[in-house]
Structure 1
Amino acid sequence: MPRDPMHSGPEDRERIGHMLEAARDVVAFVAMRRREDVDTDAMLRRALVNALQVIGEAAARVTDSGRQRVPSLPWGKIVATRNVLVHVYWGVDHEQIWKMATTRVPEMIAALEAACDTWPLPDTPTD
């Protein structure tokens, strides 16, 4: 059965949790790093891009109702960033990756944490 984009459900809370996990990964990846490392360290660069893609993909799957629970996030920009990273991979700007990783993503974490704190995950069956 298709999901109603206006009705938030447990999937929305899970996706927001995925966004938070990936955002925390981004912050950990850039800790003790310099901007130049994005240019010279392919593993760092790919890890950042992958985590940003996860954030965007999860955001794309949050319903309108779920997005309303975290109104401070720029949902459209988050999804658009994912689309650029996936579909225009050859033109990814390392400076923009660094700015997202060191500025925008850390700013998102507080909003995501607040949403997760006030929106518990549904109980999972123990079967």
Structure 2
Amino acid sequence: MTALNDDIRLRHMLDAAKQALTFMEGKSNVSLDADAMLLLAVVKAIEIVGEAAAKITKERQATIPQIPWPQIIRMRNRLTHTPSSPSSASRSKSGTYWRM
């Protein structure tokens, strides 16, 4: 059952990541600052990716080392638990948005 759950969560990660990319198609980072609905939609998709990643077993994560598991999970935690706006939570220290 755990392997099946991991497969389902990997599918959730892929679907949400594709959705975030679709939301951003033809748009720039400036669009995120100007469009609160777009920003919230992209942030929610990233949260879904991170939530699913956090629930995938460590054993399964180890079989896919090209995925930056800790960074994905930290981003989800940062977006979910940072008391500031999603815009500032999704920016790196340099002020640029994280790449998808």
Q: After the TM superposition, which parts of structure 1 deviate over 4 Å for at least 4 consecutive aligned residues?
A: none
Candidates 54, 74, 90, aligned match of 1:60? 54
Structure 2 unaligned blocks of 5 or more? none
> Which residues in structure 2 correspond to 1:37-116 (within 5 Å)?
37-92=31-86, 93=88, 96=91, 99-100=97-98, 103=99, 105=100
RMSD: 2.1
**Contact kept? 1:29, 1:48, Cα under 8 Å:** yes
Higher relative contact order (CA 8 A, sep 6+): 1
Structure 1 unaligned blocks of 5 or more? 106-127
**Contact kept? 2:82, 2:89, Cα under 8 Å:** no
User: Paired residues, what number?
Assistant: 96
Structure 1 position 11 matched with structure 2 position 2: no
Does the C-alpha gap of structure 1 residues 89 and 19 become closer, same or farther in structure 2, counting only changes over 3 Å?
A: farther
**Contact kept? 1:15, 1:58, Cα under 8 Å:** yes
**Contact kept? 1:23, 1:55, Cα under 8 Å:** yes
**Contact kept? 2:79, 2:90, Cα under 8 Å:** no
Does the C-alpha gap of structure 1 residues 10 and 21 become closer, same or farther in structure 2, counting only changes over 3 Å?
A: same
- How far off its partner does 1:70 sit? 1.2
- How far off its partner does 1:91 sit? 4.6
User: What TM-score, normalized to structure 1?
Assistant: 0.68
Q: Percent identity?
A: 31
Structure label with greater radius of gyration: 1
